[in-house]
Amino acid sequence: MSAWGRSVGWSAALAAVLALVVVASAAIGPIRIPPAEVVKAVLNALVVPAGIETTSHGIGPLTLPSVDLAYRSPFAFPVDRVHQQIVVGVRLPRILMAALVGFALAAAGTVMQGFFRNPMADPSIIGVSSGAAAGAVAFIVFPVALSTKLALPVVGAVDVGVSHGAGVSLFAFVGALAAAFGVYAIATRHGRTPVATLLLAGVAIQTFLGAVISYLQLQAGESLRRIVAWLMGHLSGAAWSDVAVTAVVVPPLFAVLLVYARDLNVMLLGEEEAQGLGIAVERTKRILLAASALITAAGVAFAGVIGFVGLIVPHMLRLVVGPDHRVLLPSAALAGGSFLVAADTVARAGSTELPVGIVTAAVGAPFFVYLLVTREVHEL
Amino acid sequence: MTAESSVVDDSEPSTVDEPESRSAVDDETPPIEVSDLSVSFGDVPVVSGVDFRVERGSLTGLVGPNGAGKTTVLRAIKGTLSPDAGEVQLDGDPTDSLSAREAGRRVASVPQETSLAFDFRVRQIVEMGRTPHLGRFDGHGPDDERAVREAIEAAGVARFADRAITEVSGGERQRVLLARALAQETPSLLLDEPTASLDVNHAVRTLELVRDLVDDGRAALAAIHDLDMAARYCDRIVLLANGGVRAVGPPAEVLTADALRDAFDAEAFVGESPATGTPTVTAFDGTAGKDPPNPRRVHVVGSGRPAGRAVARLAAAGHAVSVGVVPEGDAAAGVAADADARAVTAPPFAAVPPERRDEAVALAREADVTVAVGKAGRAGDELGSNKAVLDASDRIVRVDDTVRDDDLLDAVRESDEADASGR
């Protein structure tokens, strides 16, 4: 079977697993809801475009026609209203956020491991996680008002602003990209970015940002608890608006990575050999770096630093589906989604909720040790 | 972009579909042409003024000592390093005007080693050779599958094609890399030490395979350490030394004792292999003769392999050697012919004709020193003429049949010094 054929097969299977995990997770909680009811509640919440409605309304002296899409709900299963509210309003945004973040981190981890030709690489290696943490912590310690009044013609003055939580995410996102770009700029000379230099520049930036974060924690005072919670990784605050933003950002970036999956295979042979096989190496590296930095930033901006998903999930899947990135990348991403949904379910299922980062690290570290002592580490 | 190359582009609007068609390129254009190439790493020049071309149907060997820049030249041709001066043309186009993809369709390379941290199957590695022929979303078509199958067959990797690359031996891995390059189906092939980690059987099979490909009209450039292999399989040799091209030409012209002494700083004896009829090189430690080399005229008396060995070693050390009288067809006579040394021969199993004896006597008389090997001139020597030759010599050095090279060279040098102090 061709590689893309295998890819579709594995993706379909792992997407089915992800759907099952999502449903199971939505059923679990302080109030247990039967899985069948979960499915019905989710289907009830689906809407499809039903037509176009034209209405007229006046703004000031003018009467403007406005065109709206009308939606209708194709399903109307009888579901307990409280259950419906718990599944759709409370659990589902968090679960979908977990799926998207796990998907993003595992995809970025897969690409970084291939990029650095090192099975021990993960998305934080180019400073993205440290940058996100520094940005988020800085905003928590020194919150700035991110709202302003914009004077728009016709419509008049409008408040444009983001909430505190969205401000943290925004700063995390910007910090992540700034750190990644810094690492890239340090490592690039004369249009070439040697991977070894990139790795060392990543270590340097991570160390430096670690110092910044520690200092900010000293200055934090009362907000220290929130900083610690953010740094441990959390999905508890996820709202539908966060999910919507992440769902818009992650899939196109993943598509970019997937387009370069075969190039990534060839890059595993070494850069010179990849060049000899017709890969525009430096350009490909820039695209892969940018797309992985963005997809990682999108993941950690909302969820904080969640370790080990980007390390162990690609590794496990490589053992199962093989090293071909055309198959591995979508498989690892979907499995990463399932893994983080499961881990977050464990995190919130106990009597006291744990930050999900603790769960992933608690599962991930033993697995990492297992990898170290078995044959999987050929060379570093 | 020159007007010429844009004409080529216009006449071939569908190169994607016909990667092999080069109708617009003149058949006389060499697949690889290196012009006045200079490369330095930082302030350290590696090679400068390198000029040579590789023609269709030619296997060219790139030989030279460690650090002479063989790999650097190959990398410049691949386009993975940019030269400080000069240029490389592939099929008439400068490498820096070609996209990586286009270059990947013109030249394939077999590296010395590859590092792979992940468990790709051997077949997957070979399939990667098709990369420059595929669009971003193309699967492998029948053409690609045929190319991969043929490459796997030709390089002899079929037996372990489904094993992981990390599980095969170094020699097998090198053949996988060759298979990958073959799957690339390029008109030119670059090989960096293709036989370095192969056993004799696979080394010969690899070069025979490259030879076959070249005979079918491809061009190949191989960096080779093994000079005998280079002489045996290459049409032409480019000898790199001291940062430049020392000599270019057919093996027999390039691989001479003088050229090798200059290039490798080693004392070499170049003979003709009785098995293949191609030059075979025996190198001696260049420091054994000690400096200054101080070449002499040396006449060797004796016969058989021991005398032949003495002639080879003395000639390699730079001495002007003659030998005689020896029976026709004697080992020493053969060595003398390879070393361009004068040999006086006589029909075997018969008395030495007087004119031959006189000829040898004359050589011995004009020589600075005469070396008598083994029992030459002593009781039991079947060649009576040896005594007369030795009688004519000013200085005689006697050595055993089993004399070590160093002792032989020392004896010749010291004979002169002893003589000088005696006067």
The nearest alpha carbon in chain A to B130 belongs to: A277
In the block, tokens 């001495």 appear at B319
Which has the higher per-residue pLDDT, A29 or A333? Answer: A333
At A124-147, the pLDDT tens digits run: 888 998 999 999 999 888 877 665
Q: What is the mean pLDDT of residues A103-120?
A: 91
Position B376 scores a pLDDT of: 72
Confidence of residue A291 (pLDDT cuts 50, 70, 90): very high
Cα A147 off chain centre by: 26
B103 with A323: Cβ contact below 8 A: no
Q: Give residue A166's pLDDT.
A: 79
Is pLDDT of A375 > 80? no
- φ/ψ bin of A303: left (φ > 0), alpha (ψ from -120 to 50), beta (otherwise): alpha
Please provide the average confidence, as pLDDT, over all residues in chain A: 85
Nearest to B100 among A3, A119, A278 (CB): A278
- A284-310 average pLDDT score: 89
Closest alpha carbon within chain A to B116: A269
d(CA A80, CA A86) in angstroms, rounded, equals 10
Mean local confidence (pLDDT), A26-45: 87
pLDDT-derived band at A122 (thresholds 50, 70, 90) equals: confident
pLDDT band at A59 (very low <50, low <70, confident <90, very high): low
Give the Cα separation of B240 and B260 in Å (integer).
Answer: 10
pLDDT value of position B382 = 63
Provide the residue type at B30 as one letter: P
Q: Does A379 score more than 70 pLDDT?
A: no
Lowest pLDDT segment from A230-234, A322-326, B30-34, B146-150 = A230-234
For residues A251 and B360, what is the distance between their CA atoms, to the nearest angstrom?
91
Q: What is the pLDDT of residue B346?
A: 86
For chain B, which residues score pLDDT lower than 50?
1-25, 289, 421-423
The pTM assigned to this predicted structure is: 0.79
Nearest Cβ partner for B80 among A272, A278, A323: A272
Question: What pLDDT is attached to residue A220?
Answer: 83
Q: Is the pLDDT of residue A180 over 80?
A: yes
User: Quick one: DSSP state of residue A246?
Assistant: H
Q: Which residue has the higher pLDDT, A375 or B191?
A: B191
ipTM: 0.78
Q: Which of A273, A282, A285 best tests the B interface by mutation, with the highest count of B CBs <10 A?
A: A273
Q: Which of A118, A265, A281 lies nearest to residue B117, judging by beta carbons? A: A118
C-alpha dist (Å) from residue B246 to A291, A348, B257, B264: 49, 75, 13, 11
CB nearest A277 (choices: B104, B118, B137): B104
Of B121, B131, B166, B221, which to mutate for an interface test with A (greatest number of A Cβ within 10 Å)? B131
Cβ pair A265:B120 closer than 8 A: yes
Decide: residue A220, CB within 10 A, 0-12 exposed, 13-18 middle, 19+ buried: middle
Q: pLDDT value at position B288?
A: 52
pLDDT digits (tens, 9 = 90+) for A198-225: 999 999 999 999 999 999 999 888 888 8
**pLDDT at residue B194 in the model:** 85
Separation of alpha carbons A295 and A129, rounded Å: 11
Mean pLDDT for the stretch of residues A266-277? 88
Give how far A115 is from chain B: nearest CA, Å: 11
Q: Tokens in use for A207? A: 């160390």
SS3 content of chain B, % helix, strand, coil (to 5): 40, 25, 35
Q: What is the pLDDT of residues B213-263, one digit of tens each?
A: 899 889 999 999 888 889 999 999 999 988 889 889 998 888 888 888 888
Sort out which chain A residues have CB atoms less than 8 A from B100's CB and list them: 275, 278-281
- Which contacts qualify for A270-275: CB closer than 8 Å, 24 or more apart? A270/A117, A270/B111, A270/B114, A270/B115, A271/A195, A272/B75, A272/B78, A272/B80, A272/B111, A273/B109, A273/B111, A273/B114, A275/B78, A275/B79, A275/B80, A275/B100
Phi, psi (deg, nearest 5) at residue B315 = -70, -40
pLDDT at A157: 58
